Homo-oligomer: A and B are copies of this chain.
Amino acid sequence: MTRSGADLALLLLGGYRSLVGSVTAELAARGHADVRPVHDFAMRAIASGADTASELGRRLEVSKQAAAKTIAVLLERGYVRRGTDPDDARRKRVEVTPLGWEVMHQGEELFDALRDEWARRIGPERLVELERQLAELVGDAAVRPEAAGGAAQD
């Protein structure tokens, strides 16, 4: 059966929502309610060097104001902390707390478990093939977490 192009888009979205929905639900059940994928992406970006609001905004391709708001919620949730930069009094350097790392690790494990589940259902080699073809179609750029940007509000 040949599906329409719109169906294909819906399938891709459905797959994403299925994975992300499961992970956020499970994280919530484990006591990390209100963690959104965007928070995870932001923490990853912070951990990998985007340790100021402006830099985070550039990585996530949003305005520095939006990045500052995201940092504010991560701060109040206790997932990051903020200090001054001894070398530049304008900057306020952000770092991921142990609690933040904990959430990132749990999210990673949950995603991996879901992927294992998928591998079990269609066969590991088929899943690898599916990923390979998707990567070819979409380009590696899509795998950069920062590309997730606005669509990750689920």
Interface residues of chain A, those whose CB is within 8 Å of chain B, are 1-20, 107-108, 110-116, 118, 121-122, 126, 128, 130-131, 133-139, 141-145, 147-148, 150-154
Contact = CB atoms under 8 A, between A and B. Distances in A.
Contacts of A3: 115, 131, 143
A55 to B, nearest CB: 21
Given A1-B128, A10-B148, A18-B142, 19 more contacts: A3-B143, A5-B111, A5-B112, A5-B116, A6-B111, A6-B145, A7-B131, A8-B111, A8-B115, A13-B13, A13-B142, A13-B148, A14-B147, A15-B138, A17-B142, A18-B138, A18-B139, A122-B137, A153-B153
B151 A154 contact: yes
Nearest to A19: B9
B121 A137 contact: yes
Given A17-B142, A154-B151, A108 B11 contact: no
